Structures are given as structure tokens and as C-alpha cells.
Amino acid sequence: MKPIRLAAPLLALTIAGAAAAETPNRLVTILTAPEPQTQLMTMVLTMNAIAAGAEAEMLLCGPAGDIALKEAPATATAGQPPQGASPQGLMKKMMEESGLKVQVCAIYLPGKGADASILMDGVTAAAPDAMGATIVAPGTTVLSF
């Protein structure tokens, strides 16, 4: 009887492991903070999550949406210590090298009285229903700054 008692837990672990392997490790980073240091650290953490195997996307809202502007403020483009990286520069790198999907909040552009032409190439406005579904999808971790 002992083999039967051991078989059930091993089977359960095998099934759970297979299910976990099918669920991607997803990260949604939501950034609203206006401080350049917080913005840069958000980019650093997202970049490291991607390097560790996460599929990531980013939502920029409020003042953080300015990072995605073609004509971004100096706070988004100025290099910071210790390595001289900027929030926008690191975001661009992740978009180009890792396929990071970057979106601004759906109300960001209307709040600025502008259209998508002011955004960097590759950045779009989020659809609230799609972003909501992404946030609650199995295997998704949400970081918010």
C-alpha cells in the first residue's frame, strides 16, 4: 500500500509542475511616480526580471507617461548615477532588445490634449479592458511604482 500512498502525491506534483510550466512568468510594471530615481529603478528591476525569464510589459501613467514622449523632459533623458542610465534610455533598450511592450494609460493622451503622434515609436495607448485582463491573468506579477 505504501507505493499507492506515494504515487498520489507524486502524480499531483507532476501535474502541478506541468501546469506551472505552461503558465508563463509574466510581469506587468505600472509606473506613475514622477521622480527620475524611482523611474530608473523601475526600469532596472523590469530589465532584471526580463533577464531572469519574465515576459514583461509596462504601463506608464500620469507624470511617468512623459518618459514615452518623443520630446521627453530632461528628467526622463538625463543620465543618473551610478552608470549614467536614464529612464527613457533603459526603456528604449528593453523595447529594442527584449520586445518590451510599453503603453501609456488610456487617459494620458486626452489629458494632455494630444494624440499618439507625440509618443515614441512603439509606444501605444492601453485599452483598459485588455490591460485589466492582463493584470489578472494567471502567472502575472504586478509591480507598481
DSSP 49-105: HHHTT-EEEEEE-GGGGGGGBTT--HHHHS-BTTTTB-HHHHHHHHHHHH--EEEE-
15-68 confidence digits (pLDDT tens): 444 444 556 799 999 999 999 999 999 999 999 999 999 999 999 999 999 999
Q: Please tell me whether residue 3 adopts helix, strand or coil conformation.
A: helix
Own/partner pairs, 67-70, CB within 8 angstroms, 24+ separation: 67/31, 67/39, 67/91, 68/102, 68/104, 68/119, 68/120, 68/123, 69/118, 69/119, 69/120, 70/118, 70/119, 70/120
What's the mean per-residue pLDDT of the chain?
89
Share of the chain above pLDDT 70, in %: 84
Question: CA-to-CA distance for 7 and 5, rounded, in angstroms?
Answer: 6
Give pLDDT, residue 7: 43
* Amino acid 3: pLDDT: 46
